[in-house]
Amino acid sequence: MKLLIPGPVTTRPEVRAAMAQDLAPWDNDFRPMYASVRERVRAHAGGAADSHVCLVLQGCGHFATEAAVRTFIPAGGRILIPMLGAYADRMARLAREAGRVVVELPVNQLVPLDPALVAAALAADPTLSHVGVVYSETGSGVIHDAAAIGAVVHAAGRRMILDAVSAFGALPFDVSARPELDALVFTSNKCFEGMPGLGFAVGRIDRLLECQGNAGSWSFDFADVYAQTARSGPGSFRFTPPAQVLAAFEVALDIYDAEGGQPARLARYMANRNALYDGVVALSLQPCLARAVQGPIVMNVHAPDDPAWNLQAFVDALKARGYLISNFYNTPQPSFRVGLIGAITPDDMRGFVAAIDQVLPEIGVRHRGPARQAA
């Protein structure tokens, strides 16, 4: 089965096989493995050992985003969140429920965010200490220019938290070039193509030291994760980790490096994007985004305007052919969503397009155009 969803993604057999062992996380064989994974991830993010650190939290991306918000913004502190889509909404909810004040910046979700809007919002409200940005908005499929937005945050003397969960590993990001960045947040199971279960942040050591005691939560505190590193070494976890997921992640990193790292991964995902975009257009289906703004992570395609259209029937028929896509709507108008990431290739995309062509008549869909034109 190919998982064509934006996480957890299709993985390679070698990655899954690394899970098939018993591991003791406090054992002296495991600790150096964990420490080396952290160093490798920090290096991929462009961080130097004396300024930056890779911190790992058990669990999903939401946990890591919540921990970043709690750690770097004091209780009652104020964060500007450009409302880019579903994941910006989620960051806002995590921050609010953690007792931070969210100021929402409404934006056009179908195009990359204009950094000038962020600059203006920050200039208008000096009480905002942070900006929370989603690099690749999984709701829309649009990629936002994290470095350019960071530059205006830096110019305004504020700080940034970047949800790069569906971006990092494929889209470039260099933490050393972005002094305003408090946390680059991502997980094991998206563009690094590992198993789900680990949340990561790469952040600055000086900021982690300044932010001890902010979190108001022992579990969701990256400053405490850092304190543990300082106390007990970089191979130690505070609480029981998903040790097998970490072993699988190490193999996934080896594959990532062997493939050619970030540029190679981005090139493969772009090729997946192009194969799918061309393929669905050739079938008379219409992607929700214009080609120029369609990112290489996830693509929404307008549902055909035919009374026979039924998303679950479509998903089930595709699944019978070996392709699994999301079975819920992610856009205001009906669409189906396809992940472009994971251990999949343009040939997989072409096979998937051929399967769509067979499945639509099978479920009785004759008219393939969208109900309404995209904005």
Ligand X SMILES: *Cc1c(COP(=O)(O)O)cnc(C)c1O
Residue ranges in contact with ligand X by CB under 6 A? 6-7, 60-62, 87, 134, 138, 163, 165-166, 187
> Closest approach of Cβ 117 to ligand X, in Å?
20
DSSP state of 175: G
Q: Which residue is nearest to ligand X (CB)?
A: 61
Helix and strand numbers (H, E) in the chain are 12, 11
Provide the residue type at 156 as one letter: A
Residue 94 CB, shortest distance to ligand X, in Å, is: 10
Residue 95 or 360: the one with the smaller Cβ distance to ligand X is 95
Nearer to ligand X, 172 or 307 (CB): 172
Token duo for residue 363: 């479920």
CB nearer ligand X, residue 286 or residue 335: 335
- 89 or 250: CB nearest ligand X: 89
Asked if 139 and 106 touch (Cβ cutoff 8 Å), the reply is: no
357, 15 in Cβ contact below 8 A?
no
Minimum distance from CB of 90 to ligand X (Å)?
7
Residues 6+ apart with CB under 8 A from 71: 182, 183, 208, 211, 214, 215, 220, 221, 222, 223
Residue count of the chain, please give it. Answer: 375
Hey, how many other C-beta atoms are within 10 angstroms of the C-beta on 299?
Answer: 25
> If DSSP codes are grouped into helix, strand and coil, which group holds residue 272?
helix
CB of 165 to ligand X, least distance (A): 4
Q: Nearest approach, Cβ of 68 to ligand X (angstroms)?
A: 11
Reduced to 3 states (helix: H, G, I; strand: E, B; else coil), residue 336 is: strand
Nearest to ligand X of 165, 171 (CB atom): 165
Least separation in angstroms between residue 166's CB and ligand X is 3
Q: How far lies 9's CA from each of 309, 351, 369, in Å?
A: 26, 17, 29
**Nearest residue (CB) to ligand X, 149 versus 360:** 149
Q: Report in angstroms how near the CB of residue 298 gets to ligand X at its nearest.
A: 8
Name which of 61 and 242 has its Cβ closer to ligand X. 61
Contact 133, 152 (CB under 8 A): no
- Please provide the distance, in angstroms rounded to a whole number, between the alpha carbons at the two ends of the chain: 34
